[in-house]
Amino acid sequence: MNTQTANTALITGASSGIGATYAERLARRGHDLILVARDRARLEALAQRLRRETGVHVETVIADLTQREDLAAVETQLRGDERISLLINNAGVAVNGPLLAADTAKLEAMVQLNSVAATRLALAAAEAFAAQGHGAIVSIGSVTSLLPERFNGVYAATKAYLLTLSQALAQELAPRGVRVQAVLPGITRTPIWEHSGFSSESLPPEMVMDVGDMVDAALAGLDQGEIVTIPSLPDAANWAAYDAQRLAMAPHLSLSQPAARYRNAVLS
């Protein structure tokens, strides 16, 4: 493939781990690529290899998405480049350890990248794709959004935010022909854990998924039209039941009177 088409994927955090694996898989599916990351050397090496091995057109964008100007440049590309039909919203960092011992500057930087930058890019893509009447937005969350007690609370909160954002966008964009997917991996064998000071090697091997298997499962979920994909969950009915219980509460979440258990407590 020598020229770009409207089948181009923009991938953030593309120089290693999940982002680089998405780049490989999508290139082999015939997608042209725009790869976004901070590490110029690794990004260019990946781009050159994918051009050579697959023949797709690969562009690189060196950007630090925690920096306002860099983030704005990627937003502008998403809004104005009609070749792009797929956003892989993957860039993120992790902070390990208890909240009371955390460096608040690191927590703030994590919120900026995992939540703020991801939101701005998702909305830029949503605007462009809705106008075109097609496209897909994939955000890489985490199962920690469902188990906030098990990991750093702010990291889990940023991933819960992505899940909520994706569910809301999916509802809003479906009539416009745009698909939205939140991917919730468990522990995946990538550099992010070592960078956070936590080694996945300390866990039982049955808890750690190879990054290739994770991305393959996520792409299969996208192909199947899933809004939420949990790659390691054996029975999809578990998520369906969880989601159904959440929605079952909807008629009771905003009422004119407190629940009886609170009224009775005041009277007693």
Residue 2 lies in a domain: no
User: Cβ atoms within 10 A of the Cβ of 54, count?
Assistant: 20
Give exposure, 139-152, as e/b (b: 16+ Cβ within 10 Å): bbbbbbbbeeeebb
DSSP structure string for 2-55: -S--S-EEEEESTTSHHHHHHHHHHHHTT-EEEEEES-HHHHHHHHHHHHHHH-
| Distance between first and last Cα of the chain | 75
Residue 162 lies in a domain: yes
Res. 191 pLDDT band, cuts 50 70 90: confident
Q: Which of 58, 69, 67, 55 is nearest to 23 (CA)?
A: 58
Residue 1 lies in a domain: no
pLDDT in tens, 115-144: 999 999 999 999 999 999 999 999 999 999
- Structure confidence at residue 5 (pLDDT): 57
Q: How many CA atoms lie within 13 A of 252 on its CB side?
A: 8
- Structure confidence at residue 205 (pLDDT): 78
pLDDT in tens, 31-85: 999 999 999 999 999 999 999 999 999 999 999 999 999 999 999 999 999 999 9
- Structure confidence at residue 198 (pLDDT): 57
Q: Is 22 designated active site?
A: no
Average pLDDT, the chain: 92
Res. 2 pLDDT band, cuts 50 70 90: very low
* CATH label of the domain that carries residue 91: 3.40.50.720
Is the pLDDT confidence value at 25 over 90? yes
Is the pLDDT confidence value at 147 over 70? yes
Residue 3 lies in a domain: no
Residue 213 lies in a domain: yes
Give exposure, 21-47, as e/b (b: 16+ Cβ within 10 Å): bbbbbbbeeebbbbbbbbeeeebeebb
Decide if 37 contacts 62 (C-beta within 8 A).
yes
- pTM confidence score: 0.92
Q: Which residue of the set 155, 161, 242, 262 is catalytic?
A: 155
Domain that holds residue 160: 8-267
The domain total for the chain is: 1
Percent of the chain at pLDDT exceeding 90: 82
Is the pLDDT confidence value at 192 over 60? yes
